[in-house]
Structure 1
Amino acid sequence: MSAGTRVPLGQWARELLLGARFAVSGGRAGWTRTLLTSFGVGLGVAVLLLAASVPTALTAGDIRKDNRDWASSEEVEKAEHTVLLSWVYTEFRDETVSGRELQAEGDPDKAVLPPGVDKLPAPGEALVSPALRDLLDTEDGRKYLQPRFDGLTITGTVGDQGLSGPSELLFYSGSDELEADSGHVWRVSGFGHSEPSNPLSVALVALVVVMLVVLLLPIAAFIATAVRFGGERRDQRLAALRLVGADNAMTRRVAAGESLVGAVFGLALGSWLFLLGRSQARSIDLYGIGLFPSDIAPGFLFTLLIVVLVPACAVGVTQLALRKVVISPLGVAREGVDRGRRLWWRLATLLLGVVLLFVLGPRFSGGGADIWLLAGSVMLTLVGVTSLLPWVVERVVDRLQGGSLSWQLATRRLQLNSGLAARAVSGVTLAVAGAVALQMLYSSVQREDERDTGMDTGQADVTVYSGVEGGSDGERLAGQIRELDGVRSAHGYLTGEAVHEKTRVNEYDVRESVTFTVADCPTLRYLLKIDSCADGSTYFALDPNLPKDERPKVPAAGDRYDLRADPEKARPENPDWWTVRGKVEQARVGQDASGSQAPYGLYTTPDALAPERLGGEAAAHVQVRMVADGAGRADGVERIRNLAPITDPSFSVQELRSKAQSDEFTVLSNALMAGSVLVMLLIGGSMVVSTLEQLRERRRQLSVLVAFGTKRSTLGASVLWQTAIPVGLGLTLATAGGLGLGLLLLRMIGGGVADWWAFLPMVGMGLAMIALVTLASLPALWRMMRPDGLRTE
């Protein structure tokens, strides 16, 4: 049949079916070849389906959060169905445990309920998330978290529809002590409210785009490699077809049918692996990212693309591989062996990606068109770098001569067919090049995103804030903290409100009230900008932002303040007067250890005003210095948190950190780590499969070598060298390409190099992969060196 003759559809079908028959026939060898291809494609399909589920997974948790939120800014009238709500939280081992106290204002059976709650908990009862329940049942949880739940009886769990994810630590508790006019209590008539999200910065948008390309591109390369497993045996079968009368076009259609079977089986296997992993999603938590099975749902369009493109990729790669193969009835010959691999198109691909990145750099805005251009530029650059590997491997191994027997066996095998080894390592090269560039971008964005918190970690490690009934409670709190294990020292200051004597009765002028702060001189020097301090000193810090007509007068000697009065209520019958003695010096406020501005008002030492005299709504601020870092410090912080019940909204413990990252960057960082783990596991598995496929192709040669007395250790070392040479060249190429790509990306966002040694962990990972792949392939190598490998038909 001539090349221009149109092939009937029925003939296409018959020849594709013939190829499918070859894929599943031929005994154990045929099935092994098909299963290897199916397994490789299946791994890639499973990861692609997981990647296609990312948009749904990212929004599902936010949607559930919005469904349980409420509009705190709206004024709600009391009704039969309204509830009072107070938001409380604590931290445990750097994880946030958040809760809501609920109190019905009418019939509890008619009260509005948050998602995941079937019945309003009664006072003293609590519903907890499954993750929080499991945490409370652990030894660490019983010792360091359970005390905060004393007084609460856990009666059930919060349903999945009320949680952002399976690992969220959340609880709802019932109360009968909430007051609608309190500052931390809201009246709620319904749940379901969303706030507009803040857009990502240009640097974070670039990081997201590069991260997706770097994590997904190796998967596509792996699938393209997997569909070429068994290529040498396939070429021999196609030569046999030519011998019985098939033409070149027919052999290619038969090869397409054979590839389709592996791709279809791979689709089925990948779907099963995806569903299996999806069913276990609740129990998997990678770097704080946990999902419900229902969250992992690829969109219809993405799924359709995967179902169509994977078989099309299998057919396309097979046809491209056969372009350089001359299949005749007498055997198979590869074109261009003497001429070598073409270099021009590889350099052209790389150069195009570099030019696009260079042009995009100054004008990247993070918009839609720029995002696609950035993704395409990074993809072209990485593909260009990776496509150079076969050419580099071919040029290098052709010049390798001499050495030990294992070295010669490895180099001779690579000289005969370096393409298979290069393809097997292309995934590693692609992943490492992308990872190096991504790490450079990540380090720069991390440095730019990192901000100074203003906290003074040289002054304290932890600050504690608590509302107290009076100054004596504040002193008692500081004493309790000092006695805890893991605490080196604790000192602080007390604040409270007082009312000036001349304020009119029943019609208070709030300007005449003043905030009192009682602290020792070392603390006052820290809170105020003063030159000197002595016992009995009194200072006054005026808010410079107040208009002149609203500024209170500076206290003077003889002024009296009622320590029991409330600025918003009538004067108490039994006032507690405090008289200003001596000169009141004016001062400017500074900051405490937590970075918060010290309050404006009167400052005195305990000698001038005894702390226990402060009453009403006093507050204690305690600065704590912990023991050295480690378990002792972490346990000490948890003991401090256990000093108050979790439902006390006035008690908070803050660990001081001089640096902090934005929440968006933290989420991206966790996603990057989780994705990197999955991709590296996939690449490791692909290299094992590729090595096993190469060993299977060489089974007879291995048996012959053993029959002639070659040591098994020599053959094992040859497998190591056969993997190490292309991987070493690939890592070198990936390092150079990754550093160059990283510099272009940094130029695009206007960032500087934060880590020139970003490639070292990636190179170390690649070297570790060589050892692991060699070890994993040794059992198969020993089996293939048995004498029965010489048997033929």
Structure 2
Amino acid sequence: MIRLGLRLALGGGREAIIRLVLIAAGVALGVGLLLFALAGLNAVSAQNDRYAWLETGVGTSAGTDSAGGVGMAGRIGVAVGAPAGSATDPLWWRLSSDRFDGHVIGRVDLAATGPHAPLPPGISRLPGPGQFYASPAMSTLLRSTPGDQLGARYPARQVGLIGADALPSPDSLIIVIGRQVGDLAQAPGAELVTRISTTSPSGCQGDCVDIGINANGIALILSVVTAALLFPITIFIGTATRLSAARREQRFASMRLVGATPRQISVISAVESGVAAVAGTAAGFALFPLARPAVAGINLTGDRFFSADLSLGAMDIALTAVGVPTVAVLAAWLTLRRVIISPLGVTRRVTPPAPRAWRALPLLAGLGELAWFVHAGRPASTGGQVEAYLTGILLTMVGLVVVGPWLTSVTARLLAARTSRPGVLIGARRLADNPRAGFRAISGLVLALFVTSVAVGIITTINAYGSGGRGRPLAHRGPDQRGTLIDRYTTFTPDGPRDVASIPASLPAQLRAIHGVRGVTVIHTISPDSSDHPAIGAVSCAELATTPALGRCPAGTPTVTIGDAGWSPGTAHDRQWPAAPVSAARLARLPVQSLAVTTDGPAALERARTALRRANPQHTIPITIAEEVDRDQQRNASYQRLAEIVALVSLPIAGCGLAVSAVAGLAERGRPFSLLRLAGAPMGLLRRVVLFENAVPLVVLALVSVVTGFLTAGLFLHSQLDETLQPPPADYWLLVAAGLVASLTVVASTLTLLNRATGPALARNG
């Protein structure tokens, strides 16, 4: 039987070869997408792990790290006051962030207290005072940028490059600077450590600056996204293996009638499908390394991956290599169930039983589980959340697949009972006769719309809340916001943050002297509202007039108060501030809260940022108003990219599956349609029947899928984030409409084959 199966698959003439090639191509595409989905999960984890060394000395909250230490001292081995010359000499360490042209620069200042200090990865030795190591991208940036815009911030000499094993991305901007022990020990935020952290940002217990990614949230979303993408891919693979299913059913039914046993038919079917699936799986694995460099450039987390990060584990390879051919064989077996049970039933086209209402139970069970967590609250751990929500969402997706034929049958029967048009009546009767086949053609698109709706619903809501809560719009990012730097002057004491008493008197004049600087505004403190929050500020109206991003003064007012409950520089551009109860002369003697510099372009902005960094090296980095807003949206931007990837991957997969199903459907309709033509039915009527059979389940199930997707997203958001689902943007509805139009266009494009596929010869030979 195996030899006969191989002969039928490989030696069945031109039709068999074309079928084999098409099935293998479809399987190869599905396997390639599946491999990249799995490799993407591995790449996010690998990238996140290489941020671990940068988290040395960061955070003070108690917690357990990957090494099992408890609290900050256990996590990074803090040994304040440890004697020099011990087994591991303490290392002074300070992590901070810098900015250039909208990109974050990770800066590590360190100073060894002895010859046995721990060594960070990626460098051969610790830099001495006045020396630094830089990542390749940072080194290139330093060489290509004028020194007054960037290099002057790091008055040291480069002694080497940071190796790739310490870089999360090829584009990582990281610099490690050697300092004197006495200087660094006095710097705010410096920590004395005896080992380099192995805890990634996902496990960081405290303030991790703004360097690195926290993979906990992205792992939850990415796990759901990857698992969700498996469904359209699996359905596409199964659809591809069903090409010429009707012709094969007839052939196997004939073999059954002449004495072939069900076991023999199963073996032949498995061999035929297995050959194409194995060939397609091998081709998919061959495509993976060829396309990996291009896929590595996708900014899934905000940074490109190293190509090597898109790797596959032994389990990934084994599951794919074994699972895909197995799915293909199972799809072929399910196709031939009627042949095995009743060969005469196939040749006579016995109508299968109609789907029952119990098919709605899995869908209700999936939504019920998600609703349970709204009532009971989310699980405490990230792993528990992944298991809980992933199970509910996957069960909901299974429910959509299971309930689809029943909804198709119900819709078809309702339309058949309420129409008198021949095309609609024939199409409705055919759908009611075999709703499983009608739904199968559009099942991939239904799942793609569900996944896209869930992703868009979650991301839209996260962005709405992240922009200020309850759907408040994002802060303005006009030219003034992009060109205005804010430098905050705050010292941290045991009693809370305090504004500095003064800044160098020459600093404003030095900044105004920089070519391209249009104005400098010093924000002073007039009345602290509490010991834990910055005080209300006041500015001179003469200075504020040169910084329009911070608002404006009433006419004739010398000074104004700036800031109130909930204010931020990103929302101040259209504010008119009230008069301040201080004169301009007295204002200049008050403590300084922050300083704003308005520039006319990137070059002037970076020169001003460099001047501010040199004047205030120990405090927070000056950032533009737009950068401050964007920093708060970085996590949301990563999630947004995931939503885009879901749409860009799942919808084309579904479209390919629909095209394959439409072509296969013409072959299945060939004989009955040819009989209708012989009975006098015009081609226009047959075209309307084909469109009806595809359009009705497509539109109905698309609506059900979208509603179910948003309901799923709403339940997840309510239980996980305590947020209410926000309306999706107009782009989403355009995407759905375009997907439906494109799907109907795919179906319409196959109508050109209808005349050839329903010729009189087919009825005569049937």
TM-score, with structure 1 as normaliser: 0.67
Higher RCO by CA contacts (8 Å cutoff, separation 6 or greater)? 1
Q: Which residue of 2 aligns with 1:564?
A: none
For 2:587 and 2:592, the matched residues in 1 are separated by: 15
Q: Partners of 1:778 and 1:146 in 2: how far apart?
A: 59
Q: Is residue 2:183 matched to residue 1:170?
A: no
Match of 1:26 in 2: 12
Q: Which runs of 5+ in 2 are unaligned?
A: 59-77, 207-213, 490-499, 526-534, 545-549, 551-555, 571-580
Q: Tell me which moved more, 64-73 or 326-335.
A: 326-335
Equivalent pair of 2:89/2:117 in contact (CA under 8 Å)? yes
Following TM superposition, by how much is the alpha carbon of 1:362 offset from its aligned partner in structure 2, in angstroms?
1.7
| 1:254 Cα deviation from its structure 2 partner | 1.8
Tell me the distance in 2 between the aligned counterparts of 1:160 and 1:680.
Answer: 36
425, 429, 434: which one pairs with 2:442? 425
**1:649 matches 2:604:** no
Quote how far apart the aligned CAs of 1:733 are: 2.0
Cα distance change on mapping 1:702 and 1:122 into 2, 3 Å: farther
Distance 2:754 2:373 in 1: 53
Q: Which residue of 2 aligns with 1:683?
A: 654
Which one of 178, 197, 203 corresponds to residue 204 of structure 2? 197
SS of alignment partner, residue 122 of structure 2: coil
User: Separation in 1 of the partners of 2:476 and 2:412?
Assistant: 57
2-structure distance, mates of 1:27, 1:336: 32
Q: Distance in 1 between matches of 2:673 and 2:615?
A: 71
Give the structure 1 partner of residue 351 of structure 2.
Answer: 336
Q: Which amino acid aligns with 2:452?
A: A
Aligned to 2:365: 352
More deviation, 304-313/227-236: 304-313
Q: Taking structure 1 as reference, are residues 124 and 357 closer, same or farther at Cα in structure 2, changes over 3 Å only? A: closer
Pairing partner for 2:376 from 359, 363, 368? 363
1:289–1:671 Cα contact (<8 Å) kept: no
Contact 2:137 2:172 in 1 (8 A): yes
Task: Quote the Cα distance in structure 2 between the aligned partners of 1:743 and 1:470.
Answer: 50
For structure 1, the residue ranges without an aligned partner over 5 or more in a row are 1-14, 496-514, 528-532, 538-587, 596-602, 627-631
TM-score by length of 2: 0.69
**Larger Rg belongs to:** 1
Distance 2:122 2:278 in 1: 41
| Residue 484 (str. 1) matches residue 516 (str. 2) | yes
1:382 and 2:397 matched: yes
Partner of 1:114: 120
- SS of structure 1 residue aligned to 2:520: strand
Deviation at 1:145, TM superposition (A): 6.5
Partner of 2:528: none
Map Cα deviations across residues 619-654 of structure 1 (whole Å, 9 max, x no partner). 88323568xxxxx78787556435567997357322
Distance 1:687 1:316 in 2: 20
Q: In 2, are the aligned partners of 1:230 and 1:693 still within 8 Å (CA)?
A: yes
1:622 matched to 2:595? The reply is: yes
Does the CA-based 8 Å contact 2:659-2:747 persist in structure 1? yes
Tell me the distance in 2 between the aligned counterparts of 1:101 and 1:242: 79
Deviations 1:33-83 (Å, cap 9, x if unpaired)?
Answer: 223222333333333333434553333223222245544754466679987
Which residue is equivalent to 2:52? 66
Q: Which residue of 2 aligns with 1:283?
A: 297
Counterpart position of 1:581: none
Structure 1's 463 and 283: CA in aligned 2 closer, same or farther, altered over 3 A? closer
Question: 1:492·1:621 contact (CA, 8 Å) conserved in 2?
Answer: yes
Measured at CA, do residues 606 and 85 of structure 1 come closer, stay the same or move farther in structure 2, by a change above 3 Å? Answer: farther
What CA RMSD, in Å, does the superposition of the two structures yield over aligned residues? Answer: 5.7
Asked whether the equivalents of residues 540 and 559 of structure 2 are also in contact (C-alpha less than 8 Å), the reply is no
Shift of 1:30: 1.4
Q: Give CA deviations for 1:17-41 in whole Å, capped at 9, x if unaligned.
A: 4334323332332122223222333
Once the two structures are TM-superposed, the CA of residue 360 in structure 1 deviates from its matched residue by 4.5
Query: Structure 1 residues 114, 327: CA separation in 2 closer, same or farther (over 3 Å shift)?
Result: same
SS at match of 2:724: coil
C-alpha deviation, 1:183, in angstroms: 0.6
Residue 135 of structure 1 and its aligned partner are, at CA, apart by: 6.5
1:366-445 aligned at under 5 Å gives the runs 366=379, 371-396=386-411, 399=415, 419-445=436-462
- Asked if the contact 2:25/2:280 (under 8 Å) is kept, the reply is yes
Q: Deviations over 1:280-333 (max 9, x none)?
A: 444333462532233233333344333333333223333233234566479634
Cα distance, 1:224 vs. partner? 3.1
Count of paired positions: 674
Alpha-carbon distance in 1 for matches of 2:442, 2:567:
56
Aligned residue in 1 for 2:576? none
Distance verdict in 2 for CA 1:382–1:69, change over 3 Å: closer
**AA aligned opposite 2:655:** G
Tell me, what secondary structure is at the counterpart of 2:623? strand
The more displaced of 417-426 and 255-264 is 417-426
User: Quick one: structure 1 residues 235 and 409, their matched pair in 2 at CA, closer, same or farther if it must change by over 3 Å?
Assistant: same
1:159 and 2:163 equivalent?
Answer: yes
Mark the CA change 1:82 to 1:446 in structure 2 (over 3 Å): closer, same or farther: same
Q: Return 698-707 or 294-303, whichever deviates more.
A: 698-707
How has the CA–CA distance of structure 1 residues 70 and 677 changed in structure 2, closer, same or farther, with 3 Å as cutoff?
same
Using the alignment, how far apart are the partners of 1:252 and 1:301 within structure 2? 29
For residues 157-236 of structure 1, what are the structure 2 equivalents within 5 Å?
157-172=161-176, 179-183=183-187, 191-194=196-199, 196-197=203-204, 210-236=224-250
Deviations 1:474-497 (A, max 9, x none): 22145247x637x5x5311479xx
Write the distance in 1 (CA, Å) between the matches of 2:91 and 2:371: 58
For 2:565 and 2:392, the matched residues in 1 are separated by 50
- The question of whether the paired residues in 2 share the 8 Å contact of 1:124 and 1:173 is answered with yes
Q: 1:535 to 1:723 in 2, by over 3 A?
A: closer
